Each structure stands twice: as structure tokens, then as C-alpha cells.
Chain A
Amino acid sequence: MIVPLDHCDHCGTCISVCPVDALMLTENSLIVDHELCTECLLCVNICPVAALESKK
């Protein structure tokens, strides 16, 4: 399961690489749609500040 961490800056870099449109920004948070997410880890690796984590 992909989880945004507290130090996420809500910049949206992850959204631009998500192939299944499973990420969304609200005013102050990043939301992951776990139904859509395939855990490809593209977002985890592209994040400029490593603020996404893959949790078992």
C-alpha cells in the first residue's frame, strides 16, 4: 500500500507519472486511491523529497 508521509509538500510531481490516475491533490493533502493503485512504485521513486512509502 502506497502511503504519503508527513513531509509531503503537495507538489504533484507523483501525479504526473502515475499511469493509472490513482493520486489526487486536495488543498492540503495527497490522496491515494488504493483500488486503482497497482503499486508500480513510480511515484515513490520520482518524489523530490521521498515522501511516499510502500507499506506492507
Chain B
Amino acid sequence: MKTTWDIIIIGGGPGGLFAALEAAKAGKSVLLCERKREMGIPVRCGEAVGKEDFANYLPMEPRWIGSEINTFIIVPPNGKEIKLKKDLYSGYVINRDLFEYDIAARAAEAGVQIKMKANVQELIHSDDGSVSGVRVMESGKMHEYYAKIVIAADGVESRISRQMGIQTVLKPENIEPCVQVTASGIHLPEKALYLYIGTCYAPGGYAWVFPKANNCANIGLGINGKYSSNTNCAKDYMDRFLDRFFPDASIQRYVTGGVPVTTNLKRLTQDNFMIVGDAGHMVNPLNGGGITHAIYSGIIAGKAAAASCDDPQKMKICFSKYEKEIYRKFGKNHEHQSKIKEVVYQMNDDDYNRIGGEFLKLDDSKRNFLNLFKQVVKHKPEFLINVVRAFSGI
């Protein structure tokens, strides 16, 4: 049985799959271990991606498209919908299970060996502290696999990075526990991303309704971890939300999960070890989106690993470049978003209702992000100060 590869990747989400694909395309031997039994499932995700953003990385396939979206609708606590101007946003709600299944097939085609039900329990270390491989539990048997580079793509629940001395533990206020259902019979007037913002829905977070094909929609909700308790958890908020807006929803998929809402990890590499995607907290802390962040970090990490796995000197340079590139692409922006998030969630339900009411007085053609922003600033001048502060780095 083969026990040695150039690169081992832990986790078969978008981050791990794209890292594997890139490294294999560059001619390296790659093993990908996924703990679960089926690629792409369960879909712990709202599945919304921006059209342009996604197109930066690969062309969209028709079968991945759940629906096409051209605007946002924000719903404040009083339930009065704020429709933003049409064509303000263009995106998709994707079928992430099919997407990941297909990318896994492409990775396999490129030569990646994929193992399912392969639970990486710990890293194997060399004497110098670097990593030489992984211990993997497969159907009750422990196996040892070796590689020159190990990439952790094991999601927000990543434990592996801690074994390299990288601090990944999230404080409760830096994670959003979420619950989502995919329901049918959801007849929405517009193909829009619906965002319900208010402490009555989801304190420190928001509820979302993202339409898919055939009157199905992902209906989900995330609250800030500091408001979560075992007597009032995300699911309790979700039950109340469904009762209020979709009491007859017929549910065909139910998932839970945590979304990191903080700045990215600064350290994404250590010796011959790399971190990609959610495991590196590469999620936009304001909106919780992270699919394309995982794809991009996977691509860059896979390339860097392939280019340097045979040369320790080059590895140092490539890994340092990887960290810098991720910070340039997302890190800086997420620091800003994180500060804006704090201001947005300091507001109370009256504030949201009042801002929404003023915005609704505007003519249809003027309902864009800039004018929404102006209304927010009018009611909460400190918002502007914080935005300026966020972007100027003061």
C-alpha cells in the first residue's frame, strides 16, 4: 500500500480540493483525506457567491447554479422590506454539493488520490518539530502516511493546526453558531438575497433567505457566540424566525455549523505546514462569506506547495509569499470589515427600523448602497467615524 506522497491535504472542502487540484496539475503526488463519507455533504453553507468574484477563479458550470440573484432585500425588525435597486448585485446561490463533487472528480482526474472516511487524528512530527506525516483513522484502523508538506483544510473546527503551535481557538464573540434549513414551497417575490437584520431575529448576526431553484430556499440564521447559551441557542432563534415568516415551510435539509467572524490568522504556515480556508479564519467577518476565500487560498497554497516541496530554502520563501498574498487579498479587508461589523451590531432594533424607514422614503432609483450608507451615517454619525478609522487604520 502506498504510504508516501509529496503533499497531504487534510479536508475535502473547497480549500482542500483546490489545493489538491493545483498541486497535482503541477505534477506532484497528492493525497487528500476527508473525514466524512460523501464529498460535498453535508452542505453547511448559505451557498451565495458573487458572480465576478467566482469568475476570477473558474468558470461557473450550469449544474452548480441554484439560482441567479440580482439584488438584496434587507428586512429590519419591523418587517418592512428595504429593496435595494435592481442589478446592484449579481451573484448565484450555488449547489455546493454538486460543485464539490465535480471539483473532486477534476482533482482525481489530475492524479490526486482521495480517501473518504479518513479521519486525520494527529500529525507525525520529525525531530526538528516539522511535520513528516499524519495518523489517519480509517474504518477502525490507524494508518500512517508521509509527505514533504501537509496542508490543513479542515474547516473552522480545525484541531490540526494547534499541533503545530498555531493558536486557532476562537473566543465566543468571534464565532457565529448557525442553523440553516433548505425548505421547499418558499414563494419569494424577487430573486434576491434577503437579509433580516435586528436583535429580535439574530443578535450580533443576521438571518438569511437565499432562493434556489423550484421555490426552494436556504433559510438560515447565525447569532454572535456571546449571545448563545444552551437555553437560548441559534436553533431557538431559528425556530422563532421560521414561526414568524415561514410557519408552513417544508424542510428537506437541516444543517448546523459555526462561522468564524474575526480577522484572518496571521500565521498560516509553520515549517512545512500550511493552513487554507476556514481553518485559517479566512471568512468575511461582516457577511460570513468564505467559499471564494477558501478557493483562492487553496489555489495559492497548492501552487506554493508544489513549487517548493523539494527545496526547503525555496519553501521558506514560497510560504512567506503565501502568507503575504492572503493578507493582501483578504487580511487587510477583513480587519476593516471586522470594525464595521462592531458598529453595525451596536445598533438596536429602533435604530434599524428608523434607518429603514428613512431609506424607504427615497425614490426607487435612489435605493442603492451609497444612500443606505448615508442614512446610517445620518442616524449614527459614529458609524462614519468608525468606517474612516477602519479604512485609514487609525
B211-231: CB near A (< 8 Å → 1, else 0) gives 000000000000001001111
User: B159: CB under 8 A from chain A?
Assistant: yes
Q: Specify which of B117, B137, B158, B235 is in contact with A48 (CB 8 Å cutoff).
A: B235
User: B310: CB under 8 A from chain A?
Assistant: no
Query: Do A13 and B156 have beta carbons less than 8 Å apart?
Result: yes
Q: Which residue of B lies closest to A9 (CB)?
A: B256
Query: Do A49 and B234 have beta carbons less than 8 Å apart?
Result: yes
Q: Which residue of A lies closest to B258 (CB)?
A: A13
- Give residues of chain B (147-202) contacting chain A, Cβ–Cβ below 8 Å: 155-159, 162, 168-172, 175, 177-179
User: B35: CB under 8 A from chain A?
Assistant: yes
Query: Do A11 and B44 have beta carbons less than 8 Å apart?
Result: yes
Count of interface residues, chain A, beta-carbon cutoff 8 Å: 24
- Give residues of chain A (2-56) contacting chain B, Cβ–Cβ below 8 Å: 9, 11-13, 15-19, 21, 24-27, 42, 44-50, 52-53
Report the separation of the CA atoms of residues A29 and B272 in the bound assembly, to the nearest whole angstrom.
Answer: 30
Q: Which residue of A lies closest to B171 (CB)?
A: A17
Q: Given the known A-B contacts A16-B168, A17-B170, A45-B172, are A24 and B159 also in contact in the complex, defined by CB atoms under 8 Å?
A: yes
Q: Report chain B residues within 8 Å CB of A47.
A: 177, 228, 230, 233
Query: Do A50 and B172 have beta carbons less than 8 Å apart?
Result: no
Q: Report chain B residues within 8 Å CB of A17.
A: 169-172, 175, 225
User: B257: CB under 8 A from chain A?
Assistant: yes
Q: Report chain B residues within 8 Å CB of A53.
A: 230
Query: Do A48 and B157 have beta carbons less than 8 Å apart?
Result: no
Q: Report chain B residues within 8 Å CB of A26.
A: 35, 119, 137
Q: Report chain A residues within 8 Å CB of B367.
A: none
Report the separation of the CA atoms of residues A44 and B37 in the bound assembly, to the nearest whole angstrom.
Answer: 27
Report the separation of the CA atoms of residues A53 and B37 in the bound assembly, to the nearest whole angstrom.
Answer: 27
Q: Which residue of B lies closest to A42 (CB)?
A: B172
User: B255: CB under 8 A from chain A?
Assistant: yes
Report the separation of the CA atoms of residues A25 and B35 in the bound assembly, to the nearest whole angstrom.
Answer: 9
Query: Do A50 and B159 have beta carbons less than 8 Å apart?
Result: no
Residue of A11, A42, A48 most packed against chain B (CB within 10 A): A48
- Give residues of chain B (113-169) contacting chain A, Cβ–Cβ below 8 Å: 117, 119, 121, 137, 155-159, 162, 168-169
Q: Specify which of A9, A15, A46 is in contact with B225 (CB 8 Å cutoff).
A: A46
Q: Report chain A residues within 8 Å CB of B171.
A: 17
Report the separation of the CA atoms of residues A17 and B176 in the bound assembly, to the nearest whole angstrom.
Answer: 11
Query: Do B156 and A16 have beta carbons less than 8 Å apart?
Result: yes
Q: Given the known A-B contacts A13-B258, A48-B233, A48-B257, are A27 and B159 also in contact in the complex, defined by CB atoms under 8 Å?
A: no
Query: Do B36 and A48 have beta carbons less than 8 Å apart?
Result: no
Q: Report chain A residues within 8 Å CB of B119.
A: 25-27
Q: Given the known A-B contacts A11-B44, A49-B234, are A21 and B172 also in contact in the complex, defined by CB atoms under 8 Å?
A: no
Report the separation of the CA atoms of residues A42 and B230 in the bound assembly, to the nearest whole angstrom.
Answer: 10
A13 to chain B, nearest CB (A): 3
User: B289: CB under 8 A from chain A?
Assistant: no
Q: Given the known A-B contacts A17-B169, A25-B35, A27-B36, are A49 and B256 also in contact in the complex, defined by CB atoms under 8 Å?
A: yes
Q: Which residue of A lies closest to B221 (CB)?
A: A48
Report the separation of the CA atoms of residues A3 and B230 in the bound assembly, to the nearest whole angstrom.
Answer: 13
B34 to chain A, nearest CB (A): 10
17 sample A-B contacts, Cβ–Cβ < 8 Å, listed by A number: A9-B256, A11-B256, A16-B170, A16-B260, A25-B119, A26-B35, A26-B137, A27-B36, A27-B117, A27-B119, A46-B175, A47-B177, A48-B177, A48-B235, A49-B234, A50-B230, A50-B231
Contacts A15-B159, A25-B157 supplied; 18 other A-B pairs, CB < 8 Å:
A11-B256, A13-B257, A16-B157, A16-B169, A16-B175, A16-B258, A17-B171, A26-B137, A27-B119, A46-B172, A46-B228, A48-B233, A48-B257, A49-B256, A50-B230, A50-B231, A50-B233, A50-B236
What 7 pairs between A and B have smallest CB-CB spacing? A12-B157, A13-B258, A48-B177, A48-B234, A48-B256, A15-B157, A50-B230
Residues of B within 8 A of A (CB): 35-37, 44, 117, 119, 121, 137, 155-159, 162, 168-172, 175, 177-179, 225, 228-231, 233-236, 254-258, 260
Residues of A within 8 A of B (CB): 9, 11-13, 15-19, 21, 24-27, 42, 44-50, 52-53
